[in-house]
Amino acid sequence: MELLCDALGRPQDRYRCLHVVGTNGKSSVTVACAALLGEAGLRSGACISPHAWRWSERTRIDGVEVEPGAFASAVERVAQAVAEVERDLPGEERITQFEAAIAASFVAFADGGVEVAVVEAGLGGRLDATNVIRSSATALTSVGLDHTAWLGESELEIAAEKLAVLRAGTTLVVGALAPEVAELARRTAAERRASLVAAEALDPAVLPGGIAPYGARNAAVAAALAATTTRLGEVALRDGLAAAALPGRAEVVAGEPPMIVDAAHNEPGARALVEALPGLAEGRPVFACLSILADKDVRGIVMALAPALERAVCTAAEPGPAMGRPGAHAANPKIVAEFLREAGVGAESIADPAEAVARTLELARERSGVALCAGSHYLLRYAWTVKRDQSCSR
């Protein structure tokens, strides 16, 4: 990644950078922080992952997905640099898809005159493709057991991988952490002579109405991170957070039945969703469509969600070659259904994601309930498409 950025003229050094690492909440914090910086008068960029429809969704300037022509230009320049760099790489080494995507964001930000870019890490931190930025502040949103095959078997090991991105003499902003992880963050900041800021809960008056509890926690981290760069008044806080909605995070799609869409792709995310469901479902029974990646803690996610569910339809939303992490695939929906039945929840499996979403909506409609689509980022596009098509047909 360093070689690729060098070949591109190190575009990430042409603007100030803020780094966002953590297990959950990274995209929400990144988008909200960039929105707050924009409200303060700065031209801001947000680099997030994964995407739902298009790779350009990962690159936002002033709150808007990068314009197609600008994105195409950035990708073309990255492709040329990739060819140049790969000529000298040893053996079978190649630039990865994710590295190229991050580099395209860096180029688009430089071309777009961004003053401050908020960059979400992909996997971990220490070895992540984003760890080539000279960040002036880092946010650690949360730490949970996810990607343990790469990051470690304990929260402390995972936290150490994420905290490794902290630059000396900068600022570390932390969200809600377990005591031992908070202590590691304190020690890491002290070792690197970095200021430590614990995000404090925001006044409810500045939060969007109906925000989920985990959304309020993410907003607090975003505000604290933005405050390392600029002063934020109450109006800027309120307007910035109102403009920072991220699809697929405690998102309620209106209609009958209503549908809740939430990625909830690991056990901590599932617990956070369950915490939010009473307010989102407003007392109506919840019928879930679930798809979970095979390399996740499938049983842990299911057991976290089960107490909140009336019934579930399990499916397999595959990432596909142009969607995200190569080699990832969905867990067998029959196995997911078995875990649900073990937890006392009636479940069925339908391999086709669109059919599974339609079946879930049917169940919710029949019983005056709410449909929920969760467990994987890759299920979201099916949820939105089927719901839209059903609404149009009515």
Do 313 and 382 fall into the same domain? yes
SS3 state at 382? helix
Do 275 and 232 fall into the same domain? no
The last residue of a domain, from among 223, 242, 261: 242
Do 158 and 276 fall into the same domain? no
Sequence letter at residue 141: T
253 phi and psi angles, rounded to 5 deg: -100, 120
Overall average pLDDT of the 1-28 stretch: 97
Structure tokens at 135: 């960040």
The last residue of a domain, from among 242, 274, 304: 242
Residue 394's pLDDT band (cuts 50, 70, 90): low
Do 202 and 309 fall into the same domain? no
Structural domains in the chain (count):
2
Do 89 and 221 fall into the same domain? yes
Tell me, what DSSP letter sits at residue 136?
E
pLDDT in tens, 357-373: 999 999 999 999 999 99
DSSP element (H, E) containing 346: strand 346-349
Do 185 and 99 fall into the same domain? yes
pLDDT in tens, 299-322: 999 999 999 999 999 999 998 766
Kindly list the strands in the beta sheet with 195-198, ordered across the sheet, starting from the edge strand earlier in the chain: 64-65, 59-61, 44-47, 116-120, 16-21, 135-140, 171-174, 195-198
Do 115 and 168 fall into the same domain? yes
Strands 286-290 and 259-262, how do they pair?
unpaired
Do 255 and 233 fall into the same domain? no
Do 235 and 134 fall into the same domain? yes
The last residue of a domain, from among 188, 211, 242: 242
Q: Which residue has the higher pLDDT, 34 or 153?
A: 34
Do 275 and 181 fall into the same domain? no
Do 232 and 264 fall into the same domain? no
Question: Does residue 148 surpass a pLDDT of 70?
Answer: no
Residue 145's pLDDT band (cuts 50, 70, 90): confident
Do 25 and 150 fall into the same domain? yes
Looking at the chain, the whole-number percentage of residues with pLDDT higher than 90 is 90
Cβ atoms of 56 and 107 closer than 8 Å: no
Determine the structural domain holding residue 274 and report its residue range.
Answer: 251-393
Question: Does residue 384 surpass a pLDDT of 90?
Answer: yes
